[in-house]
A = this chain, B = another copy of it.
């Protein structure tokens, strides 16, 4: 954002200024700026000097206009809160960087206008890729939320839990809906006699905390609580602890997503690992493909299957001879399985 007219800030040098300074045409300046070969070394040097002197930087808008490409991608997320989106953005950022694409980030905050605009992009022929969305027939990337939820419930049942309560996500959220559906279906299939109990949350730790307090004080405390995401599971863990209930001794708690913190919470959280960073990277790849592909292909990638990560909150203690019936991956922080790989955070 620049407003040279309304301020006394000096107007940035343009290609014309450089051309004048080096006594050449703008065409030559453009050539050296873009690293074309056909410029005499002497001319090139002269131009380079002026560029440096004037601190010339090509105007991005002009370039985008003439080249018909902005080298940027837009990312519209419903929200920016929490470990899930944080990791997703990391993945997207990394891929954007690899492709030398600028990242335009914004969150819809549930704003109807913004969402409508995004939907319009769908019908206008703007390259788009949806993630975990109801929209079909378009490039999209999805997590098998339904299958993951079923697997989690199956695991809990396998561990001997009979009464399993589900803390669901927001009613209008597609991921939340699919996870809840998986919970209901698996429960109905495996334990036809026990009926599902669902308490509605909103994916926040606070919601999980509130749900946990309610469940613990209810007349019939469940044997296990399956939260629709790790944030709520962590809130739930905190609630039980605050009430003097021990997890997993008194009841089990599991989550979904496997955010980085899931392994560091006490007890370590059993959860379904969603390859979040890869999801972000994959979305960018698909977008790049959609952009560069002549005819929009309708290759629909199959949903990514989450994997069960058995830690301690579900009632399994990771002893040396861990006895996980399902043979699933059991990770502990010190094994580094859940810690970010190859990264050195720079944040306070």
Contact = CB atoms under 8 A, between A and B. Distances in A.
Interface of A: 1-10, 12, 55, 57, 59-62, 64-65, 68-73, 78-86, 89-90, 93-94, 96-97, 101-107, 109-110, 120, 123-127, 132, 143, 145, 169-170, 173, 175-176, 179, 202-206, 209-210, 213, 228-229, 231, 234-235, 237-239, 241-242, 256-257, 260-261, 263-266, 268, 274, 291-296, 332-334, 336, 339-340, 343-348
Contact of A59 (B65, B103, B126): B65
A347 B266 CA distance: 22
How many copies altogether? Answer: 2
A266 B238 contact: yes
A106 B103 contact: yes
A331 B165 CA distance: 28
Contacts of A265: 234, 238, 265-266
A6 B204 contact: no
Give 10 nearest A-B pairs by CB, closest first. A78-B346, A61-B64, A175-B348, A206-B339, A86-B86, A79-B346, A61-B65, A203-B345, A84-B347, A238-B264
A66 B282 CA distance: 36
A170 B86 contact: no
Contact of A81 (B96, B231, B268, B340): B340
A209 B103 contact: no
Nearest to A247: B266
Contact of A293 (B7, B57, B80, B241): B7
Given A203-B346, A209-B339, A234-B265, 10 more contacts: A6-B292, A6-B294, A60-B70, A79-B344, A79-B345, A93-B106, A96-B106, A204-B343, A204-B345, A257-B348
A101 to B, nearest CB: 6
A82 B345 contact: yes
A88 to B, nearest CB: 8
A222 B347 CA distance: 25
B70 A61 contact: yes
A265 to B, nearest CB: 6
A175 to B, nearest CB: 4
A203 B347 contact: yes
Given A65-B59, A229-B348, A205 B86 contact: no
Instruction: Determine which residue in A2, A101, A132, A264 has the highest number of CB atoms from chain B within 10 A of its CB, and name it.
Output: A264
Instruction: Determine which residue in A176, A274, A346 has the highest number of CB atoms from chain B within 10 A of its CB, and name it.
Output: A346
Contacts of A175: 348
A110 B61 CA distance: 27
A209 B293 contact: no
25 contacts: A1-B127, A2-B69, A4-B68, A12-B124, A55-B124, A61-B61, A79-B343, A81-B345, A82-B86, A90-B107, A97-B109, A103-B104, A104-B105, A110-B344, A169-B348, A176-B348, A179-B348, A203-B346, A204-B340, A205-B339, A209-B333, A213-B334, A234-B261, A241-B266, A242-B332
A64 B179 CA distance: 44
Instruction: Determine which residue in A2, A70, A78, A345 has the highest number of CB atoms from chain B within 10 A of its CB, and name it.
Output: A345
Nearest to A78: B346
Contacts of A238: 263-266, 268, 333
A34 B59 CA distance: 24
Contacts of A85: 86, 347
